[in-house]
Amino acid sequence: MEITEHIEALDREGRLLVAAAESAGTGARVPTCPDWRVRDLLRHTGMVHRWAGAFVADGHTSYHPDKGEPDLDGGDLLAWFREGHRWLVDTLTTAPPDVACWSFLPAPSPLAFWARRQAHETTVHRLDAESARDGTADAVGASAPDFAITPEFAVDGIDELLLAFHAREKSRVRTDRPRVLRVRATDTGTTWTVRLSSGPPVSERGETAEADCEVAGPAARLYLSLWNRLPMPGVSGDESVATLWRENSAVTWR
Region 225-239: what's the mean pLDDT?
95
In the sheet where 179-185 sits, what is the strand order? Answer: 202-205, 191-196, 179-185, 213-217, 235-237
- Give the pTM: 0.95
Closest-CA residue to 170 (of 222, 113, 104, 244):
104
Instruction: Give the start-to-end residue ranges of the domains of the chain.
Output: 3-143, 173-248
Q: Which of 40-54, 74-88, 138-152 has the least mean pLDDT?
A: 138-152
Residue 96 has pLDDT above 80, yes or no: yes
Q: How confident is the model at residue 251 (pLDDT cuts 50, 70, 90)?
A: confident
Region 80-106: what's the mean pLDDT?
98
Q: What's the rounded Cα separation, in Å, for the pair 135 and 25?
A: 11
- What does the pLDDT read at residue 142? 47
For residue 173, the number of C-alpha atoms closer than 13 Å in the C-beta half-sphere is 29
Average pLDDT over all residues of the chain: 95
Residues 6+ apart with CB under 8 A from 142: 134
Q: What's the rounded Cα separation, in Å, for the pair 135 and 184?
A: 30
- What does the pLDDT read at residue 135? 84
Q: Which of 115-129, 138-152, 210-224 has the least mean pLDDT?
A: 138-152
- What does the pLDDT read at residue 138? 65
Q: What's the rounded Cα separation, in Å, for the pair 2 and 34?
A: 34
| Structural domain 173-248, CATH architecture | 2-Layer Sandwich (3.30)
- What does the pLDDT read at residue 126? 97
Phi/psi for 193 (5° steps) reads -115, 125
Decide which of 1.20.120, 3.40.1130, 3.90.550, 1.10.3470 is the CATH code for 3-143: 1.20.120
Residue 84 has pLDDT above 60, yes or no: yes
For the stretch 132-182, pLDDT in tens is: 999 876 655 544 456 899 999 999 999 999 999 999 999 999 999 999 999
Q: What's the rounded Cα separation, in Å, for the pair 184 and 193?
A: 9
Q: How confident is the model at residue 32 (pLDDT cuts 50, 70, 90)?
A: very high
- What does the pLDDT read at residue 143? 47
Residue 60 has pLDDT above 50, yes or no: yes
Region 81-105: what's the mean pLDDT?
98
Region 181-205: what's the mean pLDDT?
98
- What does the pLDDT read at residue 252? 81
Residue 40 has pLDDT above 60, yes or no: yes
